Amino acid sequence: MSIVVVGSVAFDDITSPSGSVTGILGGAATYFALAASYFTQVRVVAVVGEDFSPEHENVLKKRGVDTRGIERAAGQTFRWGGSYAENLNEAKTTFTDLNVFEKFQPRIPKEYDDSEVLFLANIQPTLQANVRRKMSGVRLTGCDTMNYWIQGARKELAETLKLVNVLLINDTETKMLAEEKNLPRAAQKVLTMGPQALVIKHGEYGATIFFRDGAFGTGRHPFRAPTLPIDEVKDPTGAGDSFAGGFMGYVASQNTLNREVLKRALFYGGVMGSFAVESFGTERLQALTQEEIETRFQIFRELTHLE
Amino acid sequence: MSIVVVGSVAFDDITSPSGSVTGILGGAATYFALAASYFTQVRVVAVVGEDFSPEHENVLKKRGVDTRGIERAAGQTFRWGGSYAENLNEAKTTFTDLNVFEKFQPRIPKEYDDSEVLFLANIQPTLQANVRRKMSGVRLTGCDTMNYWIQGARKELAETLKLVNVLLINDTETKMLAEEKNLPRAAQKVLTMGPQALVIKHGEYGATIFFRDGAFGTGRHPFRAPTLPIDEVKDPTGAGDSFAGGFMGYVASQNTLNREVLKRALFYGGVMGSFAVESFGTERLQALTQEEIETRFQIFRELTHLE
């Protein structure tokens, strides 16, 4: 099944203990699209400025990503700067220039109309809801959000959550959204807000998926997929978006949708996130092999497999 | 196999978002002994003061713990005060009165001489080494330590590490001990310092065991056991010691010692740690049933079990 991702394409300045880079291709939609491209056909909806060159677009095209939904606007592309301290856990934003992204109004090309899976990357919740409503053929919608919207646009976000099937956020965002400190209880509360499944990303410790009872199967047992840094962590930027790309991409590649598929998808999310952090920007995600992906899947599977 | 634990017995004042308690029984050896008592015969070596009453001792005796190694000294028992903020991740120490613990010189009763498993809870490294050397019948030694010794007694700790089989510490301690930020690389470095296996405790995310190649089997693949708060987290004090008690206790209960046993032990560690945090102090650990333990083991197993 084809998957449409709506989100940011950006140029990033990044400093980590491993070095510094300037103006490299980034943005949630970019990381997501590259990660998902190893599993299924990906279509991007985004906005870029006049500084977005054919070379930039080719990074996506080389991976077979459909870029017809990338709109060119007058002005500059979204730029973000961040730096990571020794522990690499949190980026300190040094600047945010929204540029053309500030007035982003997602337009879905007609050619995308037959897409059955949709991923709403982290953008303003009402824009997310509008996109979902426009795409009537979509059977499964994934969604990301962030503290900024949870705190500043709670009402709009609540409307969006009613329209999505799987929400992918981190521990802090889950507790903030649920206004509840205990994670499993927070998860159950979020599942009453709309999504049938909630994926909580734990960063370097993997992710847990919680299911609403009756959704994709029965029971309320959650599932955890681990992750482990395999190589050096050079740049954590985009790890969460690459996780989402691996997760949603694997789901979209399957003919059936049940808990076993979602559990395996959680592992593939961890796999793609772990590749993303091994290089600055999207470099590692641009040229993976299926064998590398399967090998890491097996390593992560063995990591928690009890005989 | 009987297991000897050497460590602190204390009275704690604890404040968490769930409430406050004063002067309750705590200490690493206490949490460890209670947790391990569900798996095997446990023997304690510790020092207490004149304020340690028969009622306190009965908490251990009721669980069949051998308390003949608890020495009475003139003065007061070790007292510790700590408080937890909303996130519960780190205790802020409000006071530490070492009292009789300051001059603790572990004395092993003759009756403990046939013990085959030893756990050196977090005490001064040279004391740990002395205990290990005295107990010639021990076949497996587990060990804990903390930042204070890693920074302040590195040389002494290095000597101790040569004598232990399994080291159980957390992420931060591992990176500090190895002077290496990448966790798997830090783990490999610690495994060159003496231990054949390293258990890294991730708090609410479970634990990972790394093996030296050739120790307890072949290969270098690590193993992760998850954990998940099941009920409300009332008091995180003693979670790590209870983890160690579940881990070492299960190991001591088995006739063979191989990787599969250590993997299952890692799950039992998580199980006992998760019970410990459900009440203030040791309350929950005092009266568990085998059925409760097995049920939680199955929940944690299903949490990461891919078909």
Contact present, B51 and B101 (Cβ < 8 Å): no
CA separation for the pair A45, A62 (Å, rounded): 17
CA distances in angstroms from A292 to A58, A121, A236, A245, A299, listed in the order given:
23, 26, 20, 16, 11
Q: At a CB cut-off of 8 Å and minimum separation 6, what does A110 contact?
A: none
Pairing mode, if any, of strands A117-120 and A42-48? unpaired
Contact present, A248 and A272 (Cβ < 8 Å): no
CA separation for the pair B194, B180 (Å, rounded): 17
Nearest to B205 among A86, A205, A263 (CB): A205
Q: A78-123: per-residue pLDDT in tens? A: 999 999 987 777 789 999 999 999 999 999 999 999 999 999 999 9
What is the pLDDT at residue B300?
94
Q: Which residue of B has its CA nearest to A176?
A: B87
Contacts of A299 in chain B (CB under 8 A): 221
Residue B51's H or E segment, with its range, is none
Annotate A117-136 with three-state secondary structure: EEEECCCCHHHHHHHHHHCC
Residue position matching structure tokens 């903030």:
A176
Which residues does residue B45 pair with via DSSP β-bridges, in sequence order?
B6, B69
Contact present, A162 and A193 (Cβ < 8 Å): yes
CA distances in angstroms from A267 to A200, A264, A299, B149, listed in the order given:
13, 5, 10, 37
% of chain A beyond a pLDDT of 70: 100
Residue type, B67: T
Average model confidence (pLDDT) across chain A: 95
The structure tokens listed for A135 are: 């795409």
Q: How far is A31 from chain B (nearest CA, A)?
A: 23
Summarize the confidence of residues A182-206 as an average pLDDT. 95
How many CA atoms lie less than 13 Å away from A165 in the CB half-sphere?
18
B217 interface with A at CB cutoff 8 Å? no
What is the pLDDT at residue A86?
78
Contact present, B126 and B11 (Cβ < 8 Å): no
Portion 284-303 of B in contact with A at CB < 8 A = 299, 301-303
Residue type, B108: I
Residue position matching structure tokens 């908490």:
B59
Contacts of B86 in chain A (CB under 8 A): 181
Q: How far is B262 from chain A (nearest CA, A)?
A: 10
Instruction: Output the pTM of the full model.
Output: 0.94
CA separation for the pair A177, A186 (Å, rounded): 8
Give how far the C-alpha of residue B240 lies from the chain's centroid of Cα atoms, to the nearest Å: 6
How many CA atoms lie less than 13 Å away from B235 in the CB half-sphere?
25
Q: How far is A299 from chain B (nearest CA, A)?
A: 8
- DSSP structural state of residue B76: P
Q: Please calculate the CA angle A54-A55-A58 and round it to the nearest 5 degrees.
A: 85
Residue position matching structure tokens 């987290």:
B233
Q: How far is A285 from chain B (nearest CA, A)?
A: 21
Closest CA to A86 of B151, B182, B90: B182
Portion 45-84 of B in contact with A at CB < 8 A = none
Contacts of A208 in chain B (CB under 8 A): 228, 303
The structure tokens listed for A87 are: 């522990």
CB contact under 8 A, A226 and B222: no
Under DSSP, is residue B305 helix (H, G, I), strand (E, B) or coil? coil
Q: A155-184: per-residue pLDDT in tens? A: 999 999 999 999 999 999 999 999 998 899
How many CA atoms lie less than 13 Å away from A123 in the CB half-sphere?
30
Q: Is the pLDDT of residue A294 over 90?
A: yes
Residue B244's H or E segment, with its range, is helix B239-253
What is the pLDDT at residue B162?
98
- DSSP structural state of residue B54: H
Q: Which of A126-135, A211-220, B226-235 is predicted most confidently? A: A126-135
Q: Is the pLDDT of residue A141 over 90?
A: yes
Size of interface A-B (CB pairs under 8 A): 84
Q: What is the CATH number of the domain that holds A191?
A: 3.40.1190.20
Give how far the C-alpha of residue B266 lies from the chain's centroid of Cα atoms, to the nearest Å: 12
Q: What is the domain range of residue B78?
A: 3-84+91-304
Domain count, chain B: 1
Going from the first residue of chain B to its last (307 residues), give the mean pLDDT of each consecutive group of 10, the final group possibly shorter.
Answer: 97 95 98 98 98 98 98 97 85 94 96 97 97 95 97 97 98 96 94 97 95 84 91 92 98 94 97 97 97 96 90
ipTM for the assembly: 0.90
What is the pLDDT at residue B27?
98
Closest CA to B203 of B34, B83, B35, B87: B87
Q: At a CB cut-off of 8 Å and minimum separation 6, what does B258 contact?
A: B216, B217
